[in-house]
């Protein structure tokens, strides 16, 4: 029970952190003063990004611990993978969206793995997300059969605020 409450708290914290990051980045582009830009970059670097990293690490560790508690039938897991595959394909082929190249690269890798893999949905998925490319990257290995739904929410979070055209 504690883990479920903590997961909810971490989701809320991550949502707040992503909102802060978004606002700081908007303010960074609108800011005229070099001093303000420097201060905003430092706040992002020292406050927001470490908080996001800490919360995501704890979130994924809790998910990994709780993965055994979820038993998703093979058919349901296959449907979820098919749904994710179609969403990723849609995102990576839509040229009107301005997603970061790193995100598109990761999504293409996932799509390639899902399309070429002869493995069942019970296979493991390994994903690496470069947070600060030469310095910090975030790597996770996930048992797709037991935690696919929750991982989809994490992957969808950056795209939540994007408007559909």
Pairing between strand 124-132 and 136-143? antiparallel
Q: Which residue has the tokens 């037991």?
A: 146
Residues 62, 78 within the same domain: no
Residues 131, 157 within the same domain: yes
Residue ending a domain, choose from 24, 42, 69 = 69
Residue 5: give the domain boundaries: 1-69
Residue ending a domain, choose from 69, 89, 118 = 69
CB 82 within 8 A of CB 52: no
pLDDT of residue 133: 58
Residues 30, 57 within the same domain: yes
pLDDT of residue 162: 52
Residues 81, 116 within the same domain: yes
What's the pTM? 0.47
Domain count, the chain: 2
Residue ending a domain, choose from 69, 91, 126 = 69
Residues 6+ positions from 84 with CB-CB distance below 8 Å: 110, 114, 148, 152, 155
pLDDT of residue 86: 82
Residues 79, 37 within the same domain: no
Residue ranges of the chain with per-residue pLDDT less than 70: 1, 67-72, 96-97, 117-165
> What tokens does 101 get?
């190249």
């Amino acid at each position: 029970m504690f883990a479920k409450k903590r997961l909810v708290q971490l989701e809320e914290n991550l949502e707040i952190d992503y909102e802060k990051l978004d606002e700081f980045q908007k303010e960074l582009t609108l800011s005229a003063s070099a001093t303000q830009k420097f201060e905003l970059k430092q706040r992002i670097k020292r406050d927001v990004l470490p908080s996001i990293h800490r919360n995501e690490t704890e979130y994924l560790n809790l998910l990994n611990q709780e993965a055994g508690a979820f038993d998703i039938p093979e058919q349901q897991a296959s449907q979820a993978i098919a749904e994710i595959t179609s969403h990723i394909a849609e995102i990576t082929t839509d040229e009107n969206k301005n997603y970061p190249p790193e995100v598109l690269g990761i999504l293409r890798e996932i799509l390639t793995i899902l399309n070429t893999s002869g493995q069942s949905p019970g296979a493991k998925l390994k994903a690496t997300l470069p947070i600060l490319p030469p310095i910090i990257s975030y790597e996770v290995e996930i048992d797709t059969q037991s935690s696919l739904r929750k991982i989809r929410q994490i992957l969808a979070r950056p795209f939540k605020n994007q408007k559909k055209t």
